[in-house]
Amino acid sequence: MAAAASGAELQILVTALGFGIGTVLLALSLARVEAGVPTCRDGRWTFASDGSPHAPQDGEFGVALDLGSFLRLTLASAGARRRRWLPVQRSGLEHEWHAIRCAVIRRRSPRPTPSQ
């Protein structure tokens, strides 16, 4: 009976350790966030970070995490090897939140294939 109890305790310990490591990794990734302004023109997204001497990055936004009042977006640029992670929260954007979510979550219509 003691062996079964220690097995269950081990599972709980491993699960708690996994959640702890995940939380720390998420916190570290959010600590390096650059402030900036995303814009969309003609269906093409651009992100210009505040205070960066680099040119704005063009790319496609993707939704990595949607918690209703918090979005974790990715910006994948064609020439870049790494994706830029952008956290967006509803606080301070209450009036525009629905439009923001619609803009980044909208489904892309399939492109027509040329008839042969």
Q: Model confidence over 37-95: pLDDT tens digits?
A: 888 777 778 888 776 666 777 888 888 888 888 888 888 877 767 777 788 888 888 89
pLDDT of residue 4: 54
pLDDT of residue 86: 82
pLDDT of residue 18: 92
Burial tier of 75 (Cβ tally within 10 Å: 0-12, 13-18, 19+): buried
pLDDT of residue 83: 75
CA distances to 1, 37, 50, 112 from 33, in Å:
49, 13, 11, 38
For residues 33 and 73, is the Cβ–Cβ distance under 8 A? no
Q: Model confidence over 3-49: pLDDT tens digits?
A: 555 778 889 999 999 999 988 887 776 666 677 788 877 777 888 87
- The confidence band for 1, taking pLDDT boundaries of 50, 70 and 90, is very low
- Calculate mean pLDDT across residues 107-115: 55
d(CA 9, CA 114): 60
